[in-house]
Amino acid sequence: MSKEILSPLPGTFYRKPAPDKPNFKSEGDTIAVGDVIGIIEVMKSFNEVKADKAGKIEKFVADNEEPVMAGQPLLELS
């Protein structure tokens, strides 16, 4: 059974801290509770998204720079 990490708020989801930087996390990575998995931008305010579950990232459901809604899945964990 897969687990999901959901967006805490609506905005634009970014998988990396800056355009010229690597992704925070990638498919296949193991994450712990509290790890930063991305950023959500709301009106020029950047909010870190931290994992509330531990596991291995199966896939990102939300793409980089994609608008997301609060409660929308960002990634799936196994």
Query: CATH number of the domain that 57 lies in?
Result: 2.40.50.100
Count up the domains in the chain and report the number: 1
Nearest CA to 57 among 32, 34, 27, 36? 27
pLDDT greater than 80 at residue 15: yes
**Structure pTM?**
0.93
Segment 30-59, tens digit of pLDDT:
999 999 999 999 999 999 999 999 999 999
Domain that holds residue 38: 3-77
* The pLDDT of residue 1: 57
| Mean pLDDT in residue range 8-18 | 97
- Residue 2 near residue 70, CB atoms below 8 Å: no
Nearest CA to 10 among 36, 49, 37? 49
